[in-house]
Chain A
Amino acid sequence: MAEISHMTQETRPAKPTIRTRWQAMRESDLWYSFLSHPSAIFAACLLALVALSAILAPVISPQDPYDLAALELWNAEIPPIWKDGGQWPYLLGTDTQGRDILSAILYGSRISLIIGFASVLVALAVGLSLGLIAGYFGGWVDNVIMRLGDVLLSMPFILIAILISAMATAALPTGLKDVLAAPILIFAIAVPSWVQYARTVRASAMVERKKEYVQAARLIRVKPWRIMLHHILPNCMTPIMVAATLNFGLAILSEATLSFLGVGMPPDQPSLGTLIRIGNQYLFSGLWWIVVFPAVQLCLIVLSVNMIGDWLRDALNPKLR
C-alpha cells in the first residue's frame, strides 16, 4: 500500500489534496457495499483466519506432520480433546499413525490454498493473453484458439483434470512424481479453466479494437501488446474478477476431489482432499474425527470463498445498484 501511494505522488507531485489508494478504497461504493453485507464480512474474516493459520502453520501447529520421527504410535487413535480419552495437545485427536489432526489440517489447508490460488493465476495468465490475442488479431489465430477452447468446454471439467493429472503422473519416473505432484495439479486444474477468461476478454477486445481511441493509439504506433494491456484489458476486469473469485473456490474443490480420488497429492504431503481420502478408510471403525475435521475445514474454505464471490458479483453488477 505504501509503495503504491508513493508512486502516485511521484508521478503527480505538488497536489496536497491527492487521495491515496487507501482513502479512495474507503470511500468507494464497493467498500460501502461490503460493510453493509454481514455475510461478506463474515466470509472475509473466516477466510482471513484460515489463510493466516495456514501461513503460520509451522509456528502454531502442535506437531510437524511431515516429520516422521515426531510420530509416536502410542499416541495413535486419540479422540478429540472433549471426548473420553482425549489428550493435550491433540485438540482434534490423532490418526492411526499418531499424527495430530489439527496440525495435518493446518498444513493441508496450506497446500490446498496454494494449489487453488496458483491454478487460478495460471489460468488467468493463459486465458487473458490468449483471449486478448484472439480478440485483437482475429482471423485464423482467433479461430485456432477458440476452437481449442470449444473442445475443452465440450468435456466435463473434472474429467479433463483427472486425465491430465493421471497421465502426467503415469509418464513421470517414480522419483519425480511426488516432487512434481503440486505443479501437475495446478496445471491439470488450469487447463480446463482458462477458456472462460479467454471468452470474456475476447468479446470485450473485439468491441474495443473498433473504437476510435484504439484506432488513434494505432496511428501513433503504440505497440499492439501495449494497446491490449493498457487500453483493452482494464475494460473487462470486473467480470474477470468475479469469475476468478468463484473459480478460486472451484479450484480448491477440484484439487480436493482429485486428491480424494487418488490422482492428486500423495499421502506424505497431504492436502485436505488427501486427508479425507485417508480418513475415509476408517469410516466404519469409529474413528470419525480423522475424516470429519478435514472435511469441515474444506467446506469452510470453499463456503467463504463462494460467499465472497456471490457478494462481489452482486456488488459489481450495475443492474442491481
Chain B
Amino acid sequence: MLAFLIKRFANAAFVMLAVALLAFTIFRFFGDPVEMMVNEQATQEDRAELRERLGLNDGFVTQYTRFVTNAVQGDFGISYRNQQDVMVLIGERFPATFELVLVATILSLVIGIPLGVITAVHRESRMANALQLGSIVGVSLPSFVVGIMLILAFSVSLGWLPAFGRGETVDIGWWSTGLLTSSGRAALVLPALSLSTFQITLVMRLVRAEMLETLRTDYVKFARARGVPAGRVHWVHALRNCLMPVITLTGMQIGNLIAFALVTETVFQWPGMGLLFIQAVTFVDIPVMAAYLMLVSFIFVALNTIVDVTYAWVDPRLRDDTAKAGGANG
C-alpha cells in the first residue's frame, strides 16, 4: 500500500509540475512581462531595473524553479489588468464558483438518481422511453444554449428569475455567500440548473445501468419473494448498492464542473473564477490565466488521486504492484 501511495503521489506531483511548466511557458514567452507592468513614461533604465528585479535575466531553470516555489506558496504575481494580487482576485471570486458548482452537484444527484431508478424499474414503459430519449437530448445540448434558453423562458418571457449577477450577498469572514438572501438564491437557480443539465443526464444513465444489473441479482429476487414492498426493494435495497459508482462519478466530475462553470458564468455574468478567467483571456492578463490553470488542474488532479487512493484502500487488487509481485499477500 505504501509503495502504491508513493507512486500515486509522485505521479500527481509530476503532472502538476508539467502543468506548471505549461503555465510558466505561457507566462514567460507570450508578451513581455516588463512591457505589461510599466507605464508609458518608464525610461529604459526603469525597465532594465524592473527586469533585473523580476529575475527575468536568470536562466530558464532558475526562473521555472522560482515560479513553482512561488506557486506552491500561492503567489502568482500581480494582475496586468488591474494591478492587484492575483491570489486575492481569485480568492474573492472563489466562493461564487464554489456555491454554483455545489448547488449544481446537489441538483444533479437529487434529480438524476430518481430519474435513473424510474427508467430502470419501469423499463419498457412509455415514460421510461421518453426519459431515455430525453437523456440523449440532455447530453447533446450545449450548456450555453441551455443557459440562453432558460434566460429566454424564465427571465425574458415570464420575468420570474434574474438573468445575471449573484443577487445580494452576505459576508461570513472572507467568504461571501449568496445562499442566505432570497435574491441570492433566486439568482442561483438558472445558472445552477444550466450547469447541471449535463451532469443530471450522466447520473441518470449511470444509475439506470447499475440498477438494471442490481435488479437481476439474487438478493433482490429474495427480497421480493419474502414480500418486501416493491417500492422498498427498489429505493432502499437495490438503490443502496448502486450509489458507490455515483459517488465516484460525482467526485471526479467536480473538476469538470468547475471548468465548465466558466461557460455558465459567461452566460449569466456570474462573478466567479471562470468569468475572471475569460476576461483575463480577452485582455491577455497572463498571471490570472496561469493561476486559474494551475488551480483548476490542481483540484482536478487532487480529486483523481483521492478517488484512486480510496479505491486501492477499499480493493487491494487495484494496488497493481503488489498484485503482480506477490499475488495473494497484497
Chain A interface (Cβ < 8 Å from any Cβ of B): 39, 147, 150-151, 154-159, 162-163, 166-167, 170-171, 249, 253, 256-257, 260-263, 276, 280, 283-284, 288, 291-292, 295, 298-299, 302-303, 305-307, 310
Of B11, B136, B148, B297, the residue contacting A306 (CB under 8 A) is B136
- A283 near B140: Cβ-Cβ < 8 Å: no
CA distance A297 to B255 in the complex (A): 29
Whether B256 sits at the interface, judged by CB under 8 Å, is yes
Instruction: Report chain B residues within 8 Å CB of A157.
Output: 259
Residues of B within 8 A of A159 (CB): 259, 262, 293, 296-297
- A276 surroundings in chain B (CB, below 8 A): 144-145, 148
| Cβ B148 vs Cβ A280 within 8 A | yes
Smallest beta-carbon distance A148→chain B, Å: 8
Task: Give the complex CA separation of A283 and B149 in angstroms.
Answer: 10
| Supplied contacts A155-B297, A257-B142, A283-B156, 16 more A-B pairs, CB within 8 Å | A150-B15, A151-B19, A154-B15, A154-B301, A163-B26, A166-B284, A170-B30, A262-B281, A263-B281, A292-B152, A298-B142, A299-B137, A299-B145, A302-B141, A303-B136, A306-B136
B18 part of interface (Cβ distance < 8 Å): yes
Q: CB-CB < 8 A to A154: which residues of B?
A: 15, 19, 297, 300-301, 304
For the complex, what is the distance from the CA of A162 to the CA of B262, rounded to whole Å? 11
Answer whether A155 and B293 are a contact pair too, CB < 8 Å, given A167-B26, A299-B145.
Answer: yes
| Chain A contact residues: helix, strand, loop or mixed | helix
Contact for A166 among B137, B144, B260, B281, CB less than 8 A:
B281
Is A295 within 8 A of B148, CB to CB? Answer: yes
B219 close to A (CB within 8 Å): no
Please pick, from A151, A166, A283, the residue contacting B152 in the complex, using a CB distance under 8 A. A283
Contact B142 A253 (CB under 8 A): yes
Whether a CB of chain A sits under 8 angstroms from the CB of B160 is no
Task: Give Cα distance in the complex from A159 to B22, angstroms.
Answer: 13
When the two chains form their complex, are residues A147 and B149 in contact, meaning their CB atoms are under 8 A apart? no
Of the listed residues B11, B26, B142, the one surrounded by the most CB atoms of chain A closer than 10 A to its CB is B142
The smallest beta-carbon distance between A215 and chain B, in angstroms, is 24
Interface: B91 (CB within 8 A): no
Number of interface residues of B (CB under 8 A): 44
B273-288 residues at the A interface, CB under 8 angstroms: 278, 281-282, 284
Please count the residue pairs between chain A and chain B whose beta carbons lie under 8 angstroms apart in the complex.
112
Residues of B within 8 A of A257 (CB): 142-144, 263
Contacting residues, chain A, for B300 (C-beta < 8 A): 154-156
Query: When A156-B300, A170-B31, A280-B148 are in contact, do A163 and B289 touch as well, CB less than 8 Å?
Result: yes
In B127-144, the 8 Å CB interface with A consists of: 133, 136-137, 139-144
Q: Which 4 pairs, one residue from A and one from B, show the smallest C-beta to C-beta distance?
A: A156-B259, A303-B140, A151-B18, A302-B140
User: Is chain B's binding surface mostly helix, strand, loop or mixed?
Assistant: helix
Residues of B within 8 A of A163 (CB): 26, 289, 293
Q: A156–B30 contact, CB under 8 A? A: no
Set of chain A residues within 8 Å of B18, measured between Cβ atoms: 147, 151
Residues of B bordering A, CB below 8 Å: 11, 14-15, 18-19, 26, 30-31, 133, 136-137, 139-145, 148-149, 151-152, 156, 163, 255-256, 258-260, 262-263, 266-267, 278, 281-282, 284, 289, 293, 296-297, 300-301, 304
A162: which B residues are within 8 A, CB to CB? 262, 281
Cross-chain pairs A/B with CB under 8 angstroms, 10 sampled:
A154-B297, A154-B304, A158-B259, A158-B262, A257-B143, A276-B144, A283-B148, A283-B152, A299-B141, A299-B145
Q: Chain A's nearest CB lies how many Å from the CB of B253?
A: 10
Which residues of A have CB within 8 Å of B19? Answer: 151, 154-155
- Name, among A253, A261, A280, the residue most crowded by chain B CB atoms within 10 Å (CB to CB): A261
Whole-angstrom CA separation of A257 from B194 in the bound complex:
14
Q: How far is the CB of A273 from chain B (nearest CB, A)?
A: 8
B107 shortest CB reach to chain A, Å: 20
Which residues of chain A are within 8 angstroms of B297 by Cβ–Cβ distance? 154-155, 159
Query: Could you tell me the distance between the alpha carbons of A171 and B26 in the complex, rounded to whole angstroms?
Result: 11
Option from B14, B142, B255, B281 in Cβ contact (under 8 Å) with A256: B142
Bound-state Cα–Cα, A154 to B16, Å:
9
* Cβ-defined contact, B139 with A306, below 8 A: yes
The answer to whether A156 touches B152 (Cβ under 8 A) is: no
A86 to chain B, nearest CB (A): 19
Nearest-neighbor residue (CB-CB) of B14 within chain A = A147
> What chain B residues lie within 8 Å of A260 (beta carbons)?
142, 144, 263, 266
Q: Which residues of B contact A283 (CB under 8 A)?
A: 148, 151-152, 156, 163
Q: Is the CB of B142 within 8 A of A299?
A: yes
Closest B residue to A171 by CB, please name it.
B30
CA–CA, A302 and B143, complex, Å: 12
- Minimum CB–CB distance for B147 against chain A, Å: 9
With a cutoff of 8 Å between Cβ atoms, the chain A residues found around residue B148 in the complex are: 276, 280, 283, 291, 295
Provide the bound-state CA to CA distance between A147 and B10, in Å. 13
Distance of A159 Cα from B140 Cα, bound (Å) = 19
Central interface residue in B30, B139, B145, by most chain A CB within 10 Å: B145
Is there an interface contact between A261 and B151, defined as CB atoms closer than 8 Å?
Answer: no
Q: Whose C-beta in chain B lies nearest to the C-beta of A307?
A: B136
Chain A nearest CB: distance from B135 CB in Å? 10
